[in-house]
Amino acid sequence: MSTRMVEGDPRAMESPANAPASGAPARALQLADKVLGVLSEVPAALLVVAEVAVLFCGVLSRYVLHTPLVWVDEVASLLFIWLIMLGSAIAFRRGSHMRMTALVDKAGPQWRGVFELVATVAALAWLALVAYPAYAFASEEALVTLPALDISNAWRAAALPAGIVLILLMGVVRLLSTASRRAVVVALLACGAVAGGLVALQPVLQDLGNANLLLFFVGFVGLLILGGVPIAFSFGLATVGYLSLTTSTPTIVVIGRMDEGMSHLILLAVPLFVFLGMLIEMTSMARAMVQFLSNLLGQLRGGLSYVLIGAMYLVSGISGAKAADMAAVAPALFPEMKQRGADEGDMLALLAATGAQTETVPPSLVLITIGSVTGISIADLFTAGLLPGVVLALMLGLLVWWRARKTCAPCTPRASRAAVGKSLLVALPALALPFVIRAAVVEGVATATEVSTIGIVYAMLAGLLVYRRFDLRRIWPALVDTAALSGAILLIIGAATGMAWSLTQSGFSSDLAAAMARLPGGAAAFMAVSIVAFVLLGSVLEGIPAIVLFGPLLFPIARQLGIHDVHYAIVVVLAMGIGLFAPPFGVGYYAACAISRTPPSRGVRHIWRYMASLAAGTVLVAAVPWISTGFLPH
């Protein structure tokens, strides 16, 4: 069983139950698919460029010219919602929305085609249900005027119905391209029968009260996710079904909550840091850091394992995206590790463990998300995340030392001082970037959102002037990939925000708070339960949707029990990181497998010792609040 981000066009899967169209209809569908791809990819890539330009101009104007541009935030927000929806459309067309493929991977070719068909029909069902409410929401926003730009907010809100219609068209093209007409008709009839049955049971459902929460948000969501339906669409279907069938709340309210949740300006850091991560790989900045660490530590027993731990810590401070971190470090380091006799499975396990270790290292996207949904200072979270990452790195380093000593791993010749010094000089511009990013936020030069643009400009200049590696042909694919990944992440946040709002309105949050407050053992018991809960949530839902769903519910309880907000946030992120990178469910583990090109089975027997080391480090951080809060401004 696995949880992963499925890449590639699902139309590649052919089976008797999922036969593609042929002849003239097939050519027409291929043309429609290409047109829809251009309509989504070209503006999305240009929007990433526009966001970088707008925010960087805002920083220059405010900090250098001392004349703030009052329209920057409004323009950035307007462009951002369009970027999210177009990026979501690109991800849908590529089949790269986050999903669990537990049953899909185990099924034979025929059943795999059925699962793909069900996932597409379920996504279309949700899109069809929210298309008109999204249009109604955009129409109502026409009455609101943006103060700085003096234009209607409908220009911004129109992104929601436009994006939904675009994805709907892509879904229809996919259905007609991948399945026979008979299969499509059967799937649509089955979907209609399920919907009709639920409508017929509406009086019964309304009498169930809060039991509907289990039915829709546990049972229904669980079935959809296990069936391979993307997480965002699973959340959306459950929320719309719950509100439509058991309450009198209009669906337009959910659209408003989705819009509010996924378009918070702080979250604009997500696509910008994703793009920054791609730039550091493109410009060889990560390779320079790895080479310096290799020269410095390579002579120790298991030295390159220490290099992997340190390099992931440093790169995490640049990109903020774990997939980008691993993709930057592993290709530069793994060939040398293999030449020195390292076990392929152990390398994979350590790569996954370092992904979990560095979850709190700024600019972590999960920390940015926590700040956006809980109101905690992003600067405080960035400051607090550094030392816990070091603690977990030391825990992994101790395990590496013990295993290298026990196995008598071979040593390599010590690099000369001249080689170490030369590699340090080459790596200095790259090593400085994490500190530039952190200093810019802490010193007030730029916000957590704007600072990513400083990093992007810095990386581009370093690539052009210092490393002389900047392949312009890779820029456009990187921009499109940035939009697709960001759209997939942020659509989950939007759907999870609507779902969390539904849970809150039902009274579930107050019931949960009361139950957690009654736990014997007070703050210590609450922290222990939170660690276990977020390890499980991180493995199934991933960090970002889990924190959007449960952050607003649990952080007030932690505060009532006297737990510092920042301390609790750091512990929660560490716990989710363990779940995210632990098999059999953790999507991060399978990302590490793909990046290292190692079968998942090779690393399973090795990874548990590393996860145990990370768990011990997490408990230590939870037990000693100073590790998280000691350097915060008082």
The DSSP letter of residue 220 is I
Tens digits of residue pLDDT in 313-328: 877 766 556 766 777 6
- 199 with 310, same domain: the answer is no
Q: Are residues 163 and 245 in the same domain?
A: yes
Domain boundary (212, 240, 263) is at 263
Provide the CA 405 distance to its chain's centre, in angstroms: 37
| Domain end call among 216, 244, 263 | 263
Measured over the CA atoms of residue 556, residue 488, residue 483 and residue 240, the dihedral's sign is negative
Q: Name every residue whose Cβ is closer than 8 Å to that of residue 304 and which is 6 or more positions away in sequence.
A: 294, 297, 298, 333, 336, 337, 340, 342
Domain residue limits at 155: 13-263
Flag whether 181 is in a domain.
yes
Residue 9 confidence class, pLDDT cut points 50, 70, 90 = very low
Q: In whole numbers, what is the pLDDT of the chain averaged over residues?
A: 81
Query: Does residue 531 sit in the same domain as residue 436?
Result: yes
Calculate ∠ Cα 237-153-79, nearest 5°.
Answer: 75
90: in domain: yes
What pLDDT sits at residue 418?
84
pLDDT tens-digit readout, 187-238 = 778 778 888 888 888 888 887 877 888 888 878 887 887 777 888 898 899 8
The most confident of the ranges 91-95, 299-303, 320-324 is: 91-95
Residue 234: how many CA atoms within 13 Å on its side-chain side?
A: 23
Band (pLDDT 50/70/90 cuts) for residue 551 is confident
Q: Are 607 and 352 in contact (CB under 8 A)?
A: yes
- pTM here is 0.76
Q: What is the pLDDT of residues 329-343, one digit of tens each?
A: 777 677 777 777 778
% of the chain at pLDDT higher than 70:
87
On whether both 245 and 305 belong to a single domain, the answer is no
Alpha helices in 443-596 (DSSP H): 451-461, 475-505, 508-517, 522-540, 543-560, 565-580, 587-596
Q: Are residues 282 and 247 in the same domain?
A: no
Give mean pLDDT, residues 30-56: 92
* CA dist., res. 586 & res. 1, Å (int): 10
Return the C-alpha torsion angle 364, 369, 372, 375, nearest 10: -70
The reply to whether 147 falls in a domain is: yes
Do 213 and 78 belong to one domain? yes
User: Does residue 1 sit within a domain?
Assistant: no
Of the candidate ranges 154-168, 303-317, 523-537, 542-556, the one whose mean pLDDT is the lowest: 542-556
Domain-located, residue 634 = no
H or E element at residue 151: strand 151-152
Amino acid at 591: A
Task: Judge if 317 and 247 occupy the same domain.
Answer: no
The pLDDT, as a whole number, for residue 568 is 94
Residue listed under structure tokens 């768990």:
615
Q: Is residue 6 part of a domain?
A: no
Q: Is residue 7 part of a domain?
A: no
Q: Is 98 helix (H, G, I), strand (E, B) or coil?
A: strand
Residue 271 is which amino acid? Answer: P
Amino acid at 409: A
For the stretch 121-169, pLDDT in tens is: 888 999 999 999 999 999 998 888 888 888 998 999 999 999 999 999 9
- Tokens linked to 294: 């290799």
Residues 248 and 284 in one domain: no
Q: Does one domain contain both 322 and 450?
A: yes
Enumerate the H helices of 159-215 as residue ranges: 159-178, 181-200, 202-206, 211-214
d(CA 219, CA 238): 9
State yes or no: pLDDT of 630 exceeds 60. yes
Could you say which DSSP state residue 4 is in?
E
Looking at the structure, do residues 245 and 102 belong to the same domain, yes or no? Answer: yes
Number of domains forming the structure of the chain: 2
Helix 251-262 to helix 231-246 angle (10° resolution) is 150
What does R_g of the chain's alpha carbons equal in angstroms?
A: 24
Among 333, 325, 381, smallest CA distance to 354 is for 325
In a domain, 3, yes or no: no
Q: Pick the most confident of 55-64, 385-394, 419-428, 589-598.
A: 385-394
Residue pLDDT, tens place only, 444-491: 777 767 777 888 888 888 888 888 877 788 899 999 998 998 888 788
> In the listed set 263, 280, 315, which residue is the last one of a domain according to the structure?
263
Same domain, 304 and 209: no
Q: Do 248 and 322 fall into the same domain?
A: no
pLDDT tier at 3 (50, 70, 90 boundaries)? very low
Q: 411 φ, ψ to 5°?
A: -95, 160
